[in-house]
Structure 1
Amino acid sequence: MADSTRSSTVVDASPGDVLDIIADLEAYPEWAKEIRQVEILTEDGDGWPDTASFSLDAGPIQDTYTLDYTWDVAEDGQGVASWTLVEATMLKAMDGSYTLSATADGGTEVVYELTVDLKVPMLGMLKRKAEKVIVDTALRDLKKRAEA
């Protein structure tokens, strides 16, 4: 089983506002620099994305892939938005989650966990570095967008 990379940040926005940004998958190319394109393929009955296709360019990892989403979140936005890889060319895992928790001052702690594994051989060091870049960049850019 592949190791995961986990990091967190505190965002000066409510969990509901942060969740709205996370759930707006088609806007990812505007703020998540590695994501080039997103297409929602299916939605659940409440309008949450169920499956989506992504084009990724994260240095050594470039692929087009499909993710299946689970939205285990409360009405106030707290909870877990998670995804698993359905299909890809280069990736054999791109599984992760955002866990959102309200802070005492009205902000949100965001914990991002990601597991990336590739079908092609790549040094573990390069794979972990790419994973860390994806996680750190996503958290930084999410924080920037939520606080704008």
Structure 2
Amino acid sequence: MADRTESSVVVEAAPAQVLAVIADFAAYPEWTGAVKQAEVVSTGTAGRAEQVRFVLDAGAIKDTYTLAYEWDVAKSGTGTVSWELVEAETVLKALDGSYTLEGDKAGPTTVTYQLMVDVRIPMLGMLKRKAEKSIIATALQELKKRAEG
């Protein structure tokens, strides 16, 4: 598996508040630029999403795909939310990543985002890393704005 790209941001909000934004998949089209639709396909025993179907339109990359989620988080909101691609219709071959939330109960929260993307079309590794960095930077900025708003 390819190396993951990673970046972090400090969010002026409690970890539980940041986690609530991450877990609210139905709202993703409101605050993420590329996700046009998000639907929870199945939930686990704790009521959290296990699988989520997304419709993505990120310019050159358009796809409909399903991610499987794992929630290793405390009641305070700290911990890790990770996902892996389980199916994609056209372009994506892998879309595996995680958010790790760290901080005091009242905040602020340090959010570290790791991502590994692979596509079915030929692409230089350098261009893939650049795309991953762009995706991560945008996602962290949008998450920060939503959680602090």
Q: Does 1:59 align with 2:84?
A: no
User: What does 1:59-138 align with in structure 2 at a 5 Å threshold?
Assistant: 59-88=59-88, 89-103=90-104, 106-138=107-139
In structure 2, the gaps of 5 or more residues are: none
- Identity, in percent, stands at 58
Q: Secondary structure at the match of 1:141?
A: helix
Shift of 1:3: 2.2
Deviations 1:38-87 (A, max 9, x none): 01100012210000101112233221110000000000000000000000
**Secondary structure of the corresponding residue to residue 130 of structure 1:** helix
1:25 & 1:78 partners in 2: Cα distance?
19
2:131 and 2:59 mapped to 1: Cα distance? 7
2-structure distance, mates of 1:37, 1:141: 16
Unaligned runs of 5+ in 1: none
Matched, 1:10 2:18: no
Q: TM-score, normalised by structure 2?
A: 0.94
Aligned match of 2:36: 36
Rounded to whole Å, the distance in 2 between the matches of 1:57 and 1:3 is: 24
Q: Which runs of 4+ in 1 moved over 4 A?
A: none
Query: CA 1:46/1:132 → structure 2, altered by over 3 Å: closer, same or farther?
Result: same
Q: Give the CA RMSD over aligned residues.
A: 1.4
The number of residue pairs the alignment matches comes to 148
